[in-house]
Amino acid sequence: MKRILSNFVILIVLALLLLFGLTSCTSVTTPETGIVTIDLGIVSAIGVDLERPLDNYYIYLNGIYQDTMIASGSLTIPDVPIGVHSFEANNYLIAGDSVDLCDNGDTGKEVKLPVNGYSHCSGIVTYEVKLGVNYVTIPVYCYPIITIE
């Protein structure tokens, strides 16, 4: 009799533990995100150094800095929320120089002016991120800019 009673008590305790254990579980929802792998498609303009694609590019997601990458590589951004996002790449190179500009029309003398040059490479693309791995290529255009002071 004791054995039947102890088995019955153990069975009721297990049933209660199972009942409370299963009803207290809450479902965990994981946020829906995607993984984005970024590559750069660089288009050089006349006058831009051909070594330019080797430089670092600053990558932004919706205007927020993410990381730095070189053009010949790729950058992976995990946990990007699903939806439409803007991806941007920027690179600046500043160089100073001075050049002899010929012939001041009034005096006939050469005039030496400081010339500052830089090139700005940038690109932006809008892309809809989906679940899983997404591949985004940002078209990057490089423009030489020269200022004479």
- Give the integer Cα–Cα distance in Å for 68 and 64: 12
Secondary structure (3-state) at 112: strand
- Give the integer Cα–Cα distance in Å for 122 and 57: 9
Domain interval for residue 42? 32-148
Per-residue model confidence (pLDDT) at position 97: 47
Q: Is residue 1 part of a domain?
A: no
pLDDT digits (tens, 9 = 90+) for 96-148: 444 444 545 555 555 554 555 566 788 999 999 999 999 999 998 877 666 55
Number of domains composing the chain: 1
Q: Which of 54, 56, 65 is nearest to 88 (CA)?
A: 65
Q: Is residue 22 part of a domain?
A: no
Mean pLDDT of 31-55: 73
Where b means 16+ CB within 10 Å and e means fewer, 27-53 reads eeeeeeebebebebebebeeebeeebb
Q: Is residue 2 part of a domain?
A: no
Q: Is residue 70 part of a domain?
A: yes
pLDDT digits (tens, 9 = 90+) for 69-98: 887 789 999 999 999 999 999 886 655 444
